[in-house]
Amino acid sequence: MNVKRMSPARDNQRSALRTPAPHVARLRSASPPSVPPLSARERVKTATDFVSAALMLVPALPAILACIALVRLTSPGPALYTQSRVGRGGRVFTLYKVRTMHHDCERLTGPQWSTPGDARVTPVGRVMRKLHLDELPQLFNVMKGEMSLVGPRPERPEIVKKLREAVVGYDRRHAVKPGITGFAQIHLPPDSCIRSVRNKVAYDRFYIRSRSLGMELFILGATALKVIGLKHLYYRAPRVPTE
């Protein structure tokens, strides 16, 4: 079937994603789930990801340091920050990013998705987000074996708790390591509502069923084209078969 892009309905978005502090505490204190061992294919991909991430860090490190300096000069608070995300098998890990929002901006609201024109994003952060420079520190997550270069994007535990209840089959995207980029990310805009998540999950599950070396290389190439504003060179509405 054709997966149609849904219009981003934002009604009740903020209330749907808020999680009271006690729930957050229970999520973080829970024992990590048992994760099945990697298959031979996945071990090869992990090794390839490690080497690729190490090589990419050579040119990426100066860019990361420049972003850190810009954030420190233009916005109070730490330049790098960590965030809990849900990875393979539902295990929570710590993700690294360059800060693009005002420090501690979710203190009163709790975890929320970013929206177009989000006032929490700093002017420098807006540029870094457009160029995806804030994601570069996740190369360290790849080298640690927590992420892959390509895979479903990891979400925060507080939001995953809500999405598991609202989206059928949501946890199936946790069958593989999350990625810095993915099949859903090169075709669809960021999550903005439950309907957009259902669409993303369809793409993620299609990737998990169909992944191959050719598909991984296509996603990496398409990501590079998207970053430099040439998405039209690869974009087409993909056909995602029913299960």
Domain boundaries of the chain, sorted by first residue? 37-233
User: What does the pLDDT look like over 82-137, one tens digit per residue?
Assistant: 999 999 999 999 999 999 988 877 776 677 777 677 788 899 999 999 899 999 99
Residue 195, pLDDT above cutoff 90: no
SS3 sequence, the chain? CECCCCCCCCCCHHHHHCCCHHHHHHHHHCCCCCCCCCCHHHHHHHHHHHHHHHHHHHHHHHHHHHHHHHHHHHCCCCCEEEEEEECHHHCEEEEEEECCECCCCCCCCCCCCCCCCCCCECHHHHHHHHHCHHHCCHHHHHHCCCCEEECCCCCCHHHHHHHHHHCCCHHHHHHCCCEEECHHHHHCCCCCCHHHHHHHHHHHHHHHHHCCHHHHHHHHHHHHHHHCCCHHHCCCCCECCCC
- pLDDT-based confidence at 35, cuts 50/70/90? confident
Residue 68, pLDDT above cutoff 50: yes
Residue 191, pLDDT above cutoff 90: no
